Amino acid sequence: MTSKERAKLKKQAMELESIFHIGKMGITPQTIDALRDALRAKELIKINILKNCDDETLALARILSERTGAEIVQVIGRRIVLYKKNLQKEKKKKLSEKRSIVKTGLKNKNKPLKPRKSRKQV
């Protein structure tokens, strides 16, 4: 992941609410399954580590990243932001874009316009 991509994801994450809270039980198999499902649905998630969790935040971020296959975008204080690209979602998006282009007839929307010939006034 490039620094520009990471910066863009950080910006998006600022607006997100934490959808997971990890407490004194730490990381369980159910937590990992739920995180995988959330990443598949949203791609970008924010996790809050509660004060009663004894593990270090950075260590938890690395473990979650390894087990879910996601990338760590940011670790600030007791918050972790993870990102995992959903290829199926991307394919659906491209397919819907192609369909909308065909429906509207904008197939050649990126073609440069030809310059008009000027008419001489008589």
Residues ≥6 apart with Cβ < 8 Å to 107:
101
Comparison of pLDDT for 113 and 30, the residue scoring more: 30
**Minimal CA–CA distance to 20: which of 9, 28, 8?**
28
CATH of the domain at 43: 3.30.110.60
What is residue 49's predicted lDDT score, i.e. its pLDDT? Answer: 93
What is this structure's pTM?
0.70
- Number of separate domains in the chain: 1
What are the pLDDT digits (tens) for 28-65? 999 999 999 999 999 999 999 999 988 899 999 999 99
Bridge partners, residue 79, by sequence: 48, 76
* Residue 109 placed within a domain: no
Q: Find out whether 40 and 86 touch, Cβ atoms under 8 Å.
A: yes
**Which residues form the domain of 63?**
3-87
What is residue 105's predicted lDDT score, i.e. its pLDDT? Answer: 59
* Residue 71 placed within a domain: yes
* Residue 20 placed within a domain: yes
How large is the average pLDDT for residues 67-92?
A: 88
* Residue 47 placed within a domain: yes
- Angle (CA) 36-49-28 rounded to 5° is 45
